[in-house]
Amino acid sequence: MNTNEIAVEYRLAHWAQIMRERQESGLSIKQYCKNAGFHPNIYFYWQRKLREAACRELVPAGQETRQLPDVPRGWMACVKAETKAPSPLTIEIGQYRVLIESNADAEQLAKVCRVLAAACILRAVIPICGRTSTD
DSSP secondary structure string for all residues of 50-99: HHHHHHHHSPPTT----SPPP--TT-----PPP--PPPPEEEEETTEEEE
DSSP 10: H
The reported pTM is 0.44
What is the reported pLDDT for 133? Answer: 45
Q: Which residues contact 135 (CB under 8 A, 6 or more apart)?
A: none
pLDDT tens profile 28-85:
999 999 999 999 999 999 999 888 887 776 655 545 445 555 666 666 666 666 666 6
Tell me the pLDDT band of 100, cut-offs 50, 70 and 90: confident
Closest CA to 91 of 78, 109, 105: 109
Q: Which residues contact 87 (CB under 8 A, 6 or more apart)?
A: 102
What is the reported pLDDT for 51? Answer: 85
Residue 32: beta bridge partners? none
What is the reported pLDDT for 28? Answer: 94
Q: Is the pLDDT of residue 129 over 60?
A: no
Residue 112: beta bridge partners? none
pLDDT tens profile 88-98:
878 776 666 77
- Exposure on the CB side of residue 16, measured as CA atoms within 13 A: 18
